[in-house]
Structure 1
Amino acid sequence: MDYFYLKTINNNAICATNEYHHEVIILGKAIGIKCNRSFHSLVDKKLIERVFIADNENRKYIETIIGQIPYTLFKVVDDVIKQAEDDLQTKFKDVLYLSLLDHIYFAYKTWEDKQKIENPLLNELKMFNSKEFNAAKHSIQIINNTLKTDFDEHEAAFIAFHYINALSNLSSFQNKTIMKDLEQTVNYIEKLTNYSLDKSSYLYGRLLIHLKCLFNRLVTDERIEYDAAFINDFSNSLKVAHEEEWEYAVKISSFMKYELHLNVNDGETAYLTMHIVPILKQKGGKQT
């Protein structure tokens, strides 16, 4: 793809157009100095490191972020994202680069001012999004090594949330709501059953995955239509074979409905029972 110079943002960023006449913003070390700055001249591809499509909605946002941030941070964010993509086995969209660039610059300036911001969702993120949190811990190592900062797990939690948002179709607000709902539901299950769940067990992880998927479906109104006759027979057999666990699942469903305002159907209650059974019966939890 060829790009044609429009204007310079700073030493490391320029505005240009591509072959389809779409305006873009191009990053590259000293590109604002080394490129041919004649209007509509061809941009040397060797100077190009990253390209962003700059539509009317995000052009000002991108220019503002890039215009005030030193090139060192561009490289840090690039390294951070490459490592996170390896850790999470995914390929992120450019929007994550911009949001992380903005966030890390803000965090760095805050650190320079000797201020510290604690993350109120730290424990929930460590518990319910361990993959993203562990990837974020690697990110913190890269940032600390490069910028000589001393960011801790609180900053890792902030970065983890960027990864969660980037991997999800849900909004930031919806993701935060789901994490809070997960925490409240797990606490309710422990209180209801008088069991302390083994947080490192496979069965506990399986329950969390089920709850996460359930909350995602309910938040986005992506309901699963179960066969009514099958669910009726399935539920009746569970009530007979696992009466105690079925009652737990019914109460958990009621908790979700009245406390979290989530409408859990009979099919979900039945499948919840199937997760409660092994946790209580197969040493996935330990009695307090």
Structure 2
Amino acid sequence: MKVVKVINNNLIKSFDDKNNEVLAMGCGIGFKKKPGDEIEERLIDKVYTCNDQTTSNQLIKLLEKIPLEHIQATNEIISFAKASLGKKLNPNIYISLVDHINFALERYKKGVILKNALLWEIKKLYNHEFLVGKEALHIISRRLGVNLPEDEAGFIALHLVNALMDDLSMEKTTDMTKMIQKILSIIKYHFNLELDEYSIHYERFITHLKFFAQRIFTGIKIEDQDTQFIEVLRLKYKKEYECTLKIRDYIKQEFDWDLTEDEMIYLTIHINRITTI
């Protein structure tokens, strides 16, 4: 790769072999370089592919002002997350997470500790992402010598959840988490019991709720396939169906979303499975 533009000593704009605009980052990679010079491969720490000019500008603006060691720690965290989760992350995670971690470190140095109001929910609903967040704290501690509180593992987990779901903002991801927790609370109070969070049925239900909530926040409805089956469930699983009606009313009141009969069917069946002891 050749230098197209030197952003600073640690950041260079270039093009890859497919003629995609990229940003190459590394310690001293831009020192005394000028357009047309070859980029030394050994100095490249990370290459960011820019899909459009807006992303490129955002990255440049962000990477210019953030310390290199903060960026390197974030890159290691994202690499670990990709390997651990085994799923594709939205490329914007490089912008959102490095910005969050840099801000968290600045806050910590000033003695400002931000409590995560959703920490309990995140641990329960996004356990894998939370464990990655915990490992992220170890990476930050090892690289930067800063021991951030567990609350930050929760915030990092939410950024990962957001990066796993297309078309959702961080705000919507947070609202989605609150929605899932509220639905679980409705079920617990309706049946007056504690749910077995380690059962396979509970795990499947949580997965269903995640996709259910994602559909609501992205405006995707599933079409009704069997309108007669809801009548069967209404009689066979009366108490479970009554619980589903409460969930339907909550969704309508809070999010102005009308549940389809298929969604009512799925919820009723899942509720029966997780409440049958």
TM-score, normalised relative to structure 1: 0.86
Aligned pairs (5 A) from 1:168-183 = 168-169=165-166, 170-183=168-181
Give per-residue Cα distances to partners, 1:177-225, cap 9 Å, x unaligned. Answer: 2111111111122122222222333222222222222121222222221
- Is it true that 1:250 corresponds to 2:245 in the alignment? yes
Q: Which has the larger radius of gyration?
A: 1
Shift in Å at residue 274 of structure 1? 0.8
For residue 92 of structure 2, give the secondary structure of its aligned residue in structure 1: helix
Residue among 146, 151, 157 paired with 2:148? 151
Q: How many residues align?
A: 275
| Aligned AA (1:149) | V
Residue among 74, 78, 83 paired with 1:81? 78
Overall identity of the aligned pairs, in %: 29
| Aligned AA (2:182) | Q
Distance 2:271 2:200 in 1: 13
Distance 2:213 2:91 in 1: 27
Distance 2:172 2:86 in 1: 23
Give per-residue Cα distances to partners, 1:253-286, cap 9 Å, x unaligned. Answer: 22322344321111211221111222222x2xxx
Aligned pairs (5 A) from 1:1-288 = 2-7=1-6, 9-18=7-16, 23-33=21-31, 37-53=33-49, 55-169=52-166, 170-227=168-225, 230-232=226-228, 234-281=229-276, 283=277
Distance 2:268 2:82 in 1: 36
Task: Give the gaps of 5 or more residues in structure 1.
Answer: 284-288
| Aligned AA (1:40) | G
| Aligned AA (1:257) | K
Greater than 6 Å deviation, 4+ residue runs = none
For residue 31 of structure 1, give the secondary structure of its aligned residue in structure 2: coil
Shift in Å at residue 51 of structure 1? 2.4
Give per-residue Cα distances to partners, 1:140-179, cap 9 Å, x unaligned. Answer: 1111122121212211111111101111112222212211
TM-score, normalised relative to structure 2: 0.89
- 1:46/1:265 CA distance change after superposition, 3 Å: same
Distance 1:262 1:93 in 2: 27
For residue 38 of structure 1, give the secondary structure of its aligned residue in structure 2: coil
Distance 1:217 1:92 in 2: 19
For residue 37 of structure 2, give the secondary structure of its aligned residue in structure 1: coil
Give per-residue Cα distances to partners, 1:16-55, cap 9 Å, x unaligned. Answer: 345676653210121122xx62332232333323223454
Give per-residue Cα distances to partners, 1:107-143, cap 9 Å, x unaligned. Answer: 1122122221112221221122112111111111111
Distance 1:275 1:22 in 2: 46
Task: Give the gaps of 5 or more residues in structure 2.
Answer: none
CA contact (8 A) 1:249 1:273 kept: yes
CA contact (8 A) 1:181 1:260 kept: no
For residue 90 of structure 1, give the secondary structure of its aligned residue in structure 2: coil
Please identify, of 80-89 and 23-32, the stretch whose mean Cα deviation from structure 2 is larger.
23-32
